[in-house]
Structure 1
Amino acid sequence: MAETPPHDPEPTAAPPPDTPDDLREDAERCLRALAGDHARLRDDQWTAIRALVVERRRALVVQRTGWGKSAVYFVATRLLRERGAGPTVIVSPLLALMRNQIDAAERAGIRARTVNSANTDDWEGVFAEVEAGEVDVLLVSPERLNNPDFRDLVLPKLAAGAGLVVVDEAHCISDWGHDFRPDYRRLRTLLADLPPGVPVLATTATANARVTQDVAEQLSGDLADALVLRGALERDSLHLAVVKLPVAEQRIAWLGEHLDRLPGSGIVYTLTVAAAHEIAGYLADRGHPVAAYSGQTDPAERLQAERDLLDNKLKALVATSALGMGFDKPDLGFIVHVGAPQSPVAYYQQIGRAGRGVDRAEVILLPGAEDRAIWAYFAGLAFPPEHTVRATLDVLAEAGRPLSTGALEPRVDLGRARLEMMLKVLDVDGAVRRVKGGWTATGRPWEYDRERYERVAAERSREQRAMLDYIATASCREEFLRRQLDDPSAAPCGRCDNCTGRHPSAEVSEQGATAARERLRRPGVDLAPRRMWPTGVKDDLGVSGRITSQAEPGRALGRLTDIGWGNRLRELFAGPDTEIPDDMFAAVVKVLSSWDWDERPTGVVAVGSRTRPRLVGSLAHRLAEIGRLPYLGEFVPLGEPVPRRHNSAQRLRSVWHALTLPDDTAAAVRDSPGPVLLIDDRVDTGWTMTVAARTLREAGAKAVLPLTLAVPN
C-alpha cells in the first residue's frame, strides 16, 4: 500500500507590510520601555531607525553625548527581532561601556550578552544561547575580531546570521580619529563580508569632517552610499572654564580646596597613571571620598569604583582616559582635567560625560607646563619607521612558522605594546596574519604609506597646537571646541568663563599649597627587580628562565611621569650633566631613611655613566659620605655609548658586554660584609641594573640594593 504523501498546509498569508505610522508607533513603544513613559523619538533618531529597519541601509550617526545614539540601535534591534531578524552584533570598545549597554538593554526587555577578555569562561555558554536564538544583542570587544578561533570559527556565523551590526565609538576606526585603535580596522573586512541586506550602524560623538568621511567610506566603500546623520554638538548644561596656575602643587591644592564646592559627583582626569594615584592620595588625605582609576587598576576594583561613583558614594573618580567612552552617569556634575589632553576632540569627548541629566555641570581645565612633555612621550608610540617594519616582515618570512609576539620581540627593536600595534595594522593591510601560535607573513606585496603616516603625525601636532590655543583663547570655549569638530552650527555659548566674564578663582591658600607640595615631593617609588630572562637570548648570552643572582627590591626617587618629582627629574635629564642638586639629594636621603631593608648596606657601588658621570658620581660619593659607608668603586662602561633599546632582549644584549667591574672593585665587593648599595641615574627597562646586580652577586656580594633617581612610570 502506497504511503499517502504528506499534506502541504495552506500557505500562511504574509503579514501586511508595516506602514510608516505603524512602525513609528512601534518604535515609540520600544523607546518608552527603554527610557521612560515621557520619551519621544527625535526626528534624526527616527530617520536612522527607519533606514536600518525598512531600508536596511548603512548609516553613520554623529551626535553629541546624551543625544540617544544607543536608543537608535536598541529600538532598531527590538523592531528587527520582532520581524524575524537575527541578533544584533555590537562592537564596543570598553568594558564599562558594555556593562552600561547591557543594563540599558535589559530595561527595554532586550536579552544581551557579551564576549570580552574578562569573561572567557562564559563564551561557550553565550555562543550556545546565540545559536539557540535566545540572545537579541551580542556585544563584542574589538580585540576579539582578530582572535584566530573567534575570527575563523565564530565570526563568520555571527556575520551570516546577524540582523544588525553596530560599530560603537566609530571614530576608533579612523587613524585620523583621536582614539584610533588598530583592532577596529578589522571591521572593514567584517562589513565587506556581510550578506546583502544586513543593516549597519556606526555611532560616535566626536568626529570632525575628515573622520566622518573616512568612517562613512569604510562603512560602504563610497561616501555617497552611506546615510550620514550629523547633528549640532551644543551641550547647554556645560559651563567651561580654564584655571591657570603656575606649578603642580598649586593645581593640586586648588583641586583639594574647591572639590567640595563642585556640584554632585564627577571625574577628575589626569594624563598619566602616576598622576591619578598621586592626586587621589592627596585628596583622600584631605578627607575627600575619591578613588584612583586607570587601565592598570584591577578589574574588580575598577568595577567597584564605577559602582561607587554611580551610587554617589564617591565625590570623584581620579582617572586616566581608561574611564572614557560610554561611562554612563547622567547626573555627573563636574569634569576637571589636571593636565590638558593633546586633542580638543579628545577633550570634548571626555567632558561630554557630564551634564547629561542635570541642568548645570562644571567643566574645568587645569593645564600644566609638563603637559607638552607628556604629549611628546605618547607621540613616541606612533607607527614605526619603514626599516623596522621591513625587518619584522623579514623575520616572519624567514621563520617559516608562526612566531608569537614574545618570540618575535627579541628579534625586532620594538617594545611589546608598539609591536602588537604594528602587527595589527599589518594584519589589516594583509601583510601578516594572526594564526594559532602567533603571526605569519603572507608574502603579499606591502607598501609603507609614508605620506599617510606623516600626515597623521602632522595632524596630531596641529591638534596639540589647537589645544594650546583653546587654553589661551579669550573667545567662547565651547564654540572653539565645536569648530574643531567642524560643527557648522557652532556659536558662542553664553555660559563659559569667557562669555560671562566670570572666571573661577585661582586663589590657593599657602597652607594648601604647602600640603600639596609635601605630598607631591614625598620621595620614594618601589623598584621591582627583574625575575626572568627574556626569551630568545639563550643561544648568544647563555641565560634563560629564572634569574638566580638577582637584585633585591630597590627604590627610586620618583617617576618621570609624576607631576611632583617628575617635573624636576625631566628638567634634570633634559639639561647638561651636573652634580646632584642639593634638594634632590636631600630627597634621596629621605628615601634611604625610610627603606625597610632587612640589612643595612655596607658599601656603595656606582654604575659608571658616559653621558652623566658627574651626576652619578656625585650621588654615589655623597651617599657613601653621609651614610658613612665605604665607596667600593664603579662599573666601567666599555666601547661606544649603548643606544637605548625598546624591548627587553635588545636592551639586555646591548648592556651585557658594556659594563665591566674592575678587579679592585670586585675585591672590595667580595670583602664587604653586607649588602651593596648600587647607584644609577635612571632605570628604563631595568636590564642595566639586572646585569650589574648579577655581576656583583657573582663577585661575592651578599645582596644588592638598587637605588636610582628616576623610573619611567
Structure 2
Amino acid sequence: MTSAPADTARDTARAALAELVGRADVDFHDGQYEAIEALVEGRRRALVVQRTGWGKSAVYFVATLLRRRQGAGPTVLVSPLLALMRDQIAAAERAGVRAVAINSTNAHEWAEVEGRLARDEVDVLLVSPERLNNPAFREQQLPALVARLGMLVVDEAHCISDWGHDFRPDYRRLRDLIGQLPTDVPVLATTATANSRVVADVAEQLGALPTGEAGGAVASAAPGAGAGAGAEADVGTGAGAVPVLTIRGPLARTSLRLGVLRLRDSASRLAWLLSHLDDLPGSGIIYTLTVAAAVDTARLLREHGHEVRAYTGQTDAEERAESEGMLKRNEVKALVATSALGMGFDKPDLGFVVHLGAPSSPVAYYQQVGRAGRASDNADVLLLPGVEDRDIWHYFATASMPDRERAERVIAALGDAPISTPALEALVDIRRTPLELLLKVLDVDGAVRRVQGGWIATGAPWAYDAERYERIAAERVAEQQHMLDYERTDGCRMEFLQRALDDETAAPCGRCDTCAGVWFPTEVASTASAQAAESLDRVGVPIEP
C-alpha cells in the first residue's frame, strides 16, 4: 500500500471523525490520530490506555471507515458486555458504520448476520470473548472471518490479563486468534484501567506471531513508559514477537468529586441512601458487591418512593436493556447495580456514582467511577465502605482460581464422548457457576475442549500451576490493601487512583473531600435508620441443609 501524504491522511481521518460526531469543527485529542495512523497506514498492533471519555471508540470506528475505503474486510470487535455492545452499535450507526452483533440474545438474527457478512454489508462485527469458543462459531464462521479480516479490536483489554481486576478466561483465547492473523492485519486493544504490569501482559499477547513464524529482536520500553499525555512507546513483547505500540495518556478525571463516608454498618449505609439519594445530582448508579445486595437495596428504595431499578448479571436481558434506556433518559434516579453495569456503559451526563461496599482494588474502583461525568463539568462519586468487604473480596478472589483437586476431578470425568455441563455437574459434584468458570480455565489451558454436545478431555498433559496462582493471589491481596489505603488516605483521592494505575502525571485534584473538605452530608434521619433496619431484619432467612 502506498501511504498518503501525512496532511492528506490526517485530513481524511478528521473528515471521518466529523462524520462520527456530527460536528465539522471537531479535531482529534492527543494520541487519537497517532493510533489511527498506526492502524491504517502502518498496519500496526497498538494498545491504547486512556481515561474514560477520551474517545477510544472514535479511534476504532474512524480506522474501520478508512480501512474499508482501502478495500479491507470487516473489523471484528471483541466486546465483553451486552450493554457495551448496544452502545457501540448505536455509536456506529450515528457515524454511518454498519455494525452488527452476534451474542446469546440475538440467535434469531444470526442467519441474517451471516448473509450480510457474505455480501460484505458489515463494517464491524461485535462478538463476546465467549463466542470465540462457541463450537459452531469457532468451526464454521471464524475461519472465513479470519481469512478476510480488516482489523481486530479488543475492547476493555485489561480483561486479557490475569493480573487485571476483571480477568475473564475467555479473553485468553485472543492470543490464539491473534496468532492466526497475518502480521499486516492491524490489531487494536483499548482500556482505561491498566497499570504497567497489565500493560506489559496485554502487549505480550498482542505481539503473538502467526503460527509457524519467528521474529527477531523487538524494541522495548521500561515499565510505565508512555504514561504522559499522548506518549508512545514500542513495548517489548519478547524475542520472536511483533512490536506493540502503546499510547498512554493522563488518567485524571477533572469532572469527578471523590469522597469516602465510613458508616458503622449496612443499616447505616442504607439509611444514608434513604436520607440523601434525592440530594445527589441528576441520575446515577449505586454499585453493590453482590446480586442480593443490589436486589434488596433497590426494593427498599422503591418501597420508600425512590425511582430505582436493580441491574445484575441475573437480570433478564430485555429488562437490562430497558433499564439502561430509562437511566439514559433520566426516567429513574438510579440503577442499583453489580459490576454487570460497568465497562463501557455510556451516559455522558451521569451525575453520580455511589458504592455500597468497595471494589477489591483501586483499579476496579477507577473503572466503575469512570461512568460518571464523561461529558459534564461536575459529577459526585461517593464510597460507603463496609466491614464485610474483605470477606466478599476473599470469596470472589478464591472463586476465580482453579482448585487442583476439583480440576483433576473434572479432567478425570471427561473422555472422548461429549458430556454436557449439567451432566458433568452431577458427575463431579461442583455447582454450576464455579464449574463453568473452571471449565473455561481448563479449556484455555488446553486440557479440555468445548465441542458440539458438551465437553471432552483433550488428553493433553495438564499440571496445576501453583506458583502462578499463588503469585496472582498475593497480588490481589496487595490490591485489596491498596483499596483500604484509598479509603483511609489523607492525600488527594484522584491522585491516589492515578498512581495506582502508574500514571506519572498524577497530581492533587483540588476537588475531593481531602483536597477541598467534605462536600457530602453525613447525618442520617432517624426514620431512615428504622426503615433500613426493618428491611435488613427480613432479608436473608438461614435454612439449614
Output the TM-score relative to the length of structure 2.
Answer: 0.92
The answer to whether 1:58 aligns with 2:45 is: yes
1:505 CA drift (Å): 2.6
**Could you say which residue in structure 2 is the equivalent of 1:343?**
361
1:391 CA drift (Å): 2.6
Counterparts of 1:338-417 in structure 2, within 5 Å, are 338-396=356-414, 399-417=415-433
Contact 2:400 2:437 in 1 (8 A): no
1:416 CA drift (Å): 1.7
Alpha carbons of 1:458 and 1:411: their partners in 2 closer, same or farther (altered >3 Å)? same
- Secondary structure in 2 aligned to 1:500? coil
Hey, which bits of structure 1, 4+ residues long, moved more than 3 A? Answer: none
2: CA distance, partners of 1:428 / 1:254: 44
Gaps of 5+ in 2: 209-217, 219-234, 237-242
The answer to whether 1:19 aligns with 2:37 is: no
AA of the residue aligned to 2:319: E
1:299-349 superposed Cα distances (whole Å, 9 cap, x missing partner): 111111110100011111111111001110000010000111111111100
**Which of these residues, 260, 277, 289, is aligned with residue 259 of structure 1?**
277
1:503 CA drift (Å): 4.3
- Secondary structure in 1 aligned to 2:417? coil
1:280 CA drift (Å): 1.2
Higher mean C-alpha deviation, range 364-373 or range 349-358 = 364-373
1:39 CA drift (Å): 2.2
**Which of these residues, 81, 98, 103, is aligned with residue 116 of structure 1?**
103
2: CA distance, partners of 1:235 / 1:141: 28
- Secondary structure in 1 aligned to 2:399? coil
1:413 CA drift (Å): 4.2
The answer to whether 1:288 aligns with 2:329 is: no
The higher-RCO structure (CA 8 Å, 6+ apart) is 2
Contact 1:335 1:354 in 2 (8 A): yes
**Could you say which residue in structure 2 is the equivalent of 1:75?**
62
**Which of these residues, 524, 528, 537, is aligned with residue 508 of structure 1?**
524
The answer to whether 1:193 aligns with 2:211 is: no
Contact 2:265 2:386 in 1 (8 A): yes
- Secondary structure in 1 aligned to 2:144? helix
- Secondary structure in 2 aligned to 1:353? coil
**Could you say which residue in structure 2 is the equivalent of 1:682?**
543
1: CA distance, partners of 2:182 / 2:148: 9
**Which of these residues, 162, 171, 187, is aligned with residue 175 of structure 1?**
162
Specify the structure having the higher radius of gyration (Cα): 1
AA of the residue aligned to 1:301: E
2: CA distance, partners of 1:423 / 1:502: 47
1:389-442 superposed Cα distances (whole Å, 9 cap, x missing partner): 22322222xx34222222222232422222222222222222222111212222
**Could you say which residue in structure 1 is the equivalent of 2:514?**
498
The answer to whether 1:31 aligns with 2:17 is: yes
1:17 CA drift (Å): 4.5
2: CA distance, partners of 1:257 / 1:447: 54
Counterparts of 1:560-709 in structure 2, within 5 Å, are 682-683=543-544, 688=545
Contact 2:3 2:41 in 1 (8 A): no
1:667-692 superposed Cα distances (whole Å, 9 cap, x missing partner): xxxxxxxxxxxxxx634xxxx4xxxx
Counterparts of 1:150-169 in structure 2, within 5 Å, are 150-169=137-156
1: CA distance, partners of 2:377 / 2:88: 24
Gaps of 5+ in 1: 1-13, 524-557, 560-680, 689-713
1:43 CA drift (Å): 3.1
AA of the residue aligned to 2:401: F
2: CA distance, partners of 1:58 / 1:495: 37
2: CA distance, partners of 1:380 / 1:144: 25
1:22-75 superposed Cα distances (whole Å, 9 cap, x missing partner): 111111111111123132112311110000001101000011100000000000
AA of the residue aligned to 1:52: L
2: CA distance, partners of 1:411 / 1:373: 30
2: CA distance, partners of 1:226 / 1:267: 36
1: CA distance, partners of 2:505 / 2:157: 22
1:447 CA drift (Å): 2.6
2: CA distance, partners of 1:299 / 1:322: 11
AA of the residue aligned to 1:370: E
**Could you say which residue in structure 2 is the equivalent of 1:299?**
317
**Could you say which residue in structure 2 is the equivalent of 1:105?**
92
**Which of these residues, 105, 110, 113, is aligned with residue 126 of structure 1?**
113
The answer to whether 1:460 aligns with 2:476 is: yes
1: CA distance, partners of 2:53 / 2:457: 44
**Could you say which residue in structure 2 is the equivalent of 1:330?**
348
Contact 2:100 2:125 in 1 (8 A): yes
1:379 CA drift (Å): 2.7
Contact 1:234 1:490 in 2 (8 A): yes
Q: CA RMSD in A?
A: 1.5
AA of the residue aligned to 2:271: A
2: CA distance, partners of 1:505 / 1:315: 18
Contact 1:244 1:506 in 2 (8 A): no
Contact 2:402 2:441 in 1 (8 A): no
1:95 CA drift (Å): 0.7
Contact 1:335 1:351 in 2 (8 A): yes
AA of the residue aligned to 2:390: R
2: CA distance, partners of 1:393 / 1:275: 35
Contact 1:492 1:499 in 2 (8 A): yes
Output the TM-score relative to the length of structure 1.
Answer: 0.70
Contact 2:49 2:193 in 1 (8 A): yes
**Which of these residues, 465, 471, 475, is aligned with residue 491 of structure 2?**
475
AA of the residue aligned to 1:31: L
**Could you say which residue in structure 2 is the equivalent of 1:320?**
338
